[in-house]
Amino acid sequence: MSINEMIILTNSQIKRYEQLYTEYQEMSTNPKKASPKFIINTPSSIFTWEEMLEDSSKMLKNELTKVQTHIDLQDDRVLSTRVNFGTAQIAAAYGCDMYIPPNNLPCAKNHILTDIKNVKNLQMPSYTDGWYQKLKEFTTFFQENMPNHVFIQLPDIQSTFNSSHLIRGNDIIFDFYDNPELLGILLDHVTDYMIGLTKHLNNMIHHIDGWFFDYGAMWKGNGRISNCTVHLISPKMYEEHILERDKRFLKEIGGGRMHYCGAHPEIIDSFVKDNFITGLDFESTLHDLFTVSKILPENVPVLTDCDENSSLLNTLLSGKWPEKKNIILNIYANNMESGKRLLEKLRESQLKHL
């Protein structure tokens, strides 16, 4: 069986996904009509990361195997795959060496800007530097071998501060106090590169104009900011140094969502000051879904991760749900059988709540 025959949809399945995409769009355009979406993840990997990072066919097969589990579950995951080379691709384009841990994604091995005074000599990378030429080759293979009705989502682009931290290292924290002007040059440099890079990457993939696939869901806009590293700074420092760069980035690409896996709850209040944000996701073990749902604007969907035995799921299954309707649950189940049972219970609980 060829790769593009790994997934073949029936007409009824095609119609179901067309309706699902409409419902995802309504999460932003008509949030009062929205209903919660459930993505149930079960173990599905068939290759190691070492194998996938060297072989585009194995990476695509692994992605399609994962997609098929969701088709079988009939949950709310979108039909999308991803060329995944990890979180340090922008750092690698700037010249950072890469390290591949055992059966894991590449990460930055060193930091090329060891002295902030050298920031003025920093060269703007091309869109083929680092791993980006390899990413283009993998993306081309995906496009040529993708089954019908399956999309390619953007690779990980991280964020201005995340990538600046990898380029500069932990000394970037001192720069906020000792060299704020030079820090600003670095942040602007990375923001400028990210804007052009994201537009370039969007042109490489097949997507629906004004909407993008990410984290198993569909979002308004054209990209995601992963602001994990802002956990290292205060909300005040974020607003003084990072927020306007995040705004500029999202404005230039046409809006996008925010990912945050840090623990500072106050920073979410800062995120929503970005009027170009179209979604937010966070860790349910670090933040309360009910609280965050009240903070976010009505037309900004929220996604959170949880395990099948988490306290959050137990709360929802008991019949207590946030008033916010455009929420997405990304749930990890031990196997297909438990995933199917959980999906059925969640949908029953949701209907009773409505």
Q: 298 near 276, Cβ under 8 Å?
A: no
pLDDT number for residue 265: 87
Q: How many CB atoms lie within 10 A of CB 170?
A: 9
pLDDT number for residue 264: 86
Q: What is the CATH number of domain 3-353?
A: 3.20.20.210
**What's the pTM value of the predicted model, to 2 decimals?**
0.96
Domain ranges of the chain: 3-353
246 forms beta bridges with none
Rounded-to-integer distance, Cα 261 and Cα 264, Å = 9
Q: 332 near 41, Cβ under 8 Å?
A: yes
Residues of the chain with pLDDT under 50: none
pLDDT number for residue 206: 66
Tell me the backbone φ, ψ of residue 169, rounded to 5 degrees: 85, -175
pLDDT number for residue 73: 97
Give the length of the chain.
354
Q: 293 near 322, Cβ under 8 Å?
A: yes
pLDDT number for residue 56: 98
